[in-house]
Amino acid sequence: MSVTDLREYGADFTANPYPYYAKLRASGPVHEILTPEGIPAWLIVGYDEARAALADQRFIKDPSVVMDFVPLEFEVIGPNLLGIDPPDHTRLRKLVAGEFTGRRVEALRPRIQQLTDELLDAMAPAGRADLVDSFAFPLPITVICELLGVPAADRDSFRAWSNELVAPTGAMTEREAVEGFGGYLDELIEDKRAAGPQDDLLSALIATRAEDGDRLSLPELRALAYLLLIAGHETTVNLIASTVRLLLTHPDQLAALRADPGLVDAAIEEGLRFDGPVEAATYRFSSEDVEIAGTVIPAGSVVLVGLAAGARDAARFPDPDRFDVHRDPRGHLAFGHGIHYCLGAPLARLEGKIAIRSLLERFPRLELDPDGGPLEWLPGLLIRGTRRLPVIW
């Protein structure tokens, strides 16, 4: 099997990878590739194979088990839930899940609606905006920071660090971003320890104990806060912006949603399937030779599960390249599958539902700004979306 160098596809692949995934899938569900960063890896592009791989414990998350490699963020911050395996993962997820409950998420509904309305009030007089900067970013970053208990004054720093880690701009090095983030979190955790019990998630995680007395260590708290802050807003920013972009570029679907606002849940799920915010799951590593559909992925390989690629597999979703808010997209993999399924999925869905319904109600003539210039797509295979989304109303 020849190696597919994704770098050769250039900017066209970044803007619209789906035809390339379809071409790969036509010749098999698994391919040896070079990522846009030049890293050798195996990419899974079939839906059934992707779903199975996400739950296959032969694909592990801790790279140090199979290779002499420790990611910079693990070195500085510590391994988070996306970088560890059972039994460590089982223990940490159990401690965290007890605080990340449906009841806590639902209790955020009034505050999410209030923040949404305030952002729309601020946008309204201008008649035009970059939807990412004015709405899709500030809503989830405020929600996750308030949930965790991060001071409002520190949120611009988070945005700068987070941008460099998921879609680098070159404003600082990866090490500067990771070390800045890590040092800040240490101070924040120590401040919260000293302050005692408060009504925020980070304080609750500091205080939480399992029935056997187990509790989170400082490195575990730091790594968990790091993951929740990045994953808790970067993905939701693009869930909101991408769903709006899809609706504005598919006027028949936007008209259907306006005619029946009850379709907002379906529109969000179809947006997650059609062009979700995570293009490929974070790295997995084969702990042994693994055969998929006749192709052997050797032990010690980097493995990328193509969530976006699987979502356009016609064997699972008929007419997959059609955006259709009446579709039943259940089973999409936008939030993953298996033990690493996204803890924050209920919160992301709630934010998306409130944001998109409120935006469309407030601005019935919302459309893409014809003078907004070309869209700039985020680089890499992790986060899918655009840096800006100029709109007018």
Contact 163, 171 (CB under 8 A): yes
pLDDT interval class at 154 (50, 70, 90): confident
User: Does the structure show a pLDDT above 60 at 359?
Assistant: yes
Of the candidates 70, 147, 60, the one whose C-alpha atom is nearest the C-alpha of residue 112 is 147
211 has a pLDDT exceeding 70: no
Q: According to the model, what pLDDT value does residue 193 have?
A: 87
Looking at the 3D structure of the chain, how many domains does it have? 1
Most confident of the following: 68-72, 150-154, 212-216: 150-154
Per-residue pLDDT at 209 exceeds 70: no
Residue 382: CATH number of its domain:
1.10.630.10
Q: What is the pLDDT of residue 33?
A: 97
Per-residue pLDDT tens for 241-272? Answer: 999 999 999 999 999 999 999 999 999 999 99
Q: Is a pLDDT exceeding 60 seen at residue 308? A: yes
Q: What does each C-alpha distance from 36 to 7, 10, 152, 161, 315 come to in angstroms?
A: 5, 9, 35, 21, 27
309-333 pLDDT tens trace: 999 999 999 999 999 999 998 999 9
At residue 23, the pLDDT reads 97
Least confident of 2-6, 76-80, 272-276: 76-80
Question: Is pLDDT of 139 > 60?
Answer: yes
Percent of the chain with pLDDT over 70: 98
pLDDT digits (tens, 9 = 90+) for 46-101: 999 999 999 999 999 998 888 877 788 888 888 889 899 999 999 889 888 877 77
- pLDDT at site 213: 67
Q: Which residue has the higher pLDDT, 170 or 43?
A: 43
pLDDT computed for residue 65 by the predictor? 87
- Determine phi and psi for 352, rounding to 5 degrees: -60, -45
Under the banding of pLDDT at 50, 70 and 90, the label for residue 3 is very high
Most confident of 9-18, 152-161, 219-228: 9-18
Domain that holds residue 137: 4-392
Q: In this predicted structure, what is the pLDDT of residue 212?
A: 64
Residue 174 confidence (pLDDT) above 90: no
- Between 211 and 155, where is the model more confident? 155
Task: Report the chain's mean pLDDT, rounded to a whole number.
Answer: 92
Q: When comparing pLDDT for 231 and 186, which is higher?
A: 186
Checking if the pLDDT of 336 tops 80, the result is yes
Say if residue 210's pLDDT is above 60: no
Mean pLDDT, to the nearest integer, of 160-184? 85
The mean pLDDT of 159-177, rounded to a whole number, is 83
Instruction: Determine the pLDDT at residue 114.
Output: 98
d(CA 126, CA 195): 42
Say whether pLDDT at 187 is over 60. yes
- The whole-number average pLDDT for the span 183-197 is 88
Least confident span in 110-114, 211-215, 300-304, 382-386: 211-215
